[in-house]
Structure 1
Amino acid sequence: MSTEFHPDNAIVKRCMQGMKLEEEGKFEEAGLVFLQAWDTAAGDFEKFLAAWFLARTQPAVSGKILWYERALELASRVDNDAVKSAFPSLHRNLSGNYEEAGDFEKAAAHRELAQACVSQPTDSGPFYHGTRAQLNTGDLLTAGRVSNYQSELVMNHIYFSALAGGAGLAAALAPGEGPERVYIVEPTGSFEDDPNVTNMKFPGNPTRSYRSREPLKIVGELAEWQRSSPEQIQRIRDRFAGKKDEIIN
């Protein structure tokens, strides 16, 4: 059973359906959709996703604890960097829930575990960076460039992904008229999970997106990758239009 996140996965689609209902204020209906996702999930990874969303929609703190504990147990069985990124958030959520329930000992234990789980990702790649710029093998990509999402925002990090499609999406969003390009890159220093996507809509870092203050070295160029639809690209443009403060820089 695959442990990789993919937008075409049936459980991912169902969770996205539930999230849309949440945005519309239909929380009871959303909970039923997430429960359907749990009932039809196959394998620890899919069940982990469903349990995360079920925990969020529980009306009582006891229910939140039950489902977050279940999500934590399932996540511990999945050997996946994207899922490992969810551990700090899982422990923080459990700490808050146990504190609300009056179990201060467990709240403190999960608070300590949340801090202990924060570390540099162990993802070994290969890694990709998407742009419209024509570059050469050996060139260095550095921070300080204009954001793909907001032309007035200069970024403090250089961004990359372990998923070629994610880099391809960045290339499609990049300013300029040149062809979309996806370069194979190597980080020259430490890097971290991209906080703009980690534990946001989905738990962990499912898109395996990272950022670094240190340069990325270009070691090659990718010829083919799964391209995003025009509708997907426009949705992202619309999402970030005029929302500078929502980007964690």
Structure 2
Amino acid sequence: MDNEQTLPGAVDPGPFYHGTKAVLKPGDLLEPGRESNFGERAQANFVYLTATLDAATWGAELAVGEGRGRIYRVEPTGPIEDDPNLTNTRFPGNPTRSYRTREPLRVVDEVLDWEGHSPEVLRGMLEHLEELRRQGIEAIND
């Protein structure tokens, strides 16, 4: 599927990215069913993707696991929808251009020239996520 074409259920032409700590190669598939990176780490019913490098950077930095964060350019193999964990939460609409899908994402290549957030900004996000955890707020998984 060409990342420059609008996908069913989305109006964003991409390209699309996925941040993680997993070591992947072109052609690998990211599929639902793995443990979530957030909250109680329940089995995720979706795979997440974004059309911004900033949102993918958060995914890479906050992902659970060993090693450094990585960002991959990915292409959805099926329909995508707005990520309800971010859409219409702090700001109207989907300014982070974040999506989810129940279908696999195919890895196209790794993005090597990205910069992480400053230690202060990263610490602030980790504190925010810890507060959500204390409040029992989980990712929307249905």
User: 1:72-83 maps to which residues of 2 (within 5 A)?
Assistant: none
Shift of 1:190: 0.4
Which has the larger helix fraction? 1
CA distance in 2, matches of 1:228, 1:149: 19
1:237 aligned onto 2:129 = no
Stretches of structure 1 lacking an aligned partner (at least 5 in a row): 1-118
Partner of 2:30: 141
Structure-2 residue corresponding to 1:52: none
Cα distance between partner residues in 1 of 2:86 and 2:120: 19
Contact preservation (8 Å) 1:153, 1:244 = no
1:232 Cα shift? 2.6
Q: Please state how far the C-alpha of 1:239 moved relative to its aligned partner.
A: 2.5
Shift >6 Å, 4+ stretches: none
C-alpha change, 1:235 and 1:147, in structure 2 (3 Å) is farther
Question: For 2:18, which of 122, 129, 140 is the aligned residue?
Answer: 129
The RMSD of aligned alpha carbons is 1.7
If you compute each CA radius of gyration, which structure gives the higher value, 1 or 2? 1
How far did residue 140 of structure 1 move?
Answer: 0.3
- Are 1:168 and 2:57 counterparts? yes
For 1:48-197, what aligned pairs fall within 5 Å after superposition? 120-197=9-86
Q: Which residue of 2 aligns with 1:109?
A: none
Q: TM-score, normalised by structure 1?
A: 0.49
Q: Which has the higher contact order (CA 8 A, sep 6+)?
A: 2
Distance 1:133-1:152 versus aligned 2 partners, 3 A rule? same
Pairing partner for 1:201 from 90, 105, 115: 90
Higher strand share goes to which structure?
2
Call closer, same or farther: CA 1:148–1:122 in 2, change over 3 Å. Answer: same
TM-score normalised over the length of structure 2: 0.84
Q: How many residues align?
A: 131
What are the ranges of 5 or more consecutive residues in structure 2 without an aligned counterpart?
1-7
Q: Is the 8 A contact 2:40 2:138 kept in 1?
A: no
Q: Deviations over 1:108-165 (max 9, x none)?
A: xxxxxxxxxxx82211100000111111100000012222222532211000100012
- The residue that corresponds to 1:76 in the other structure is none
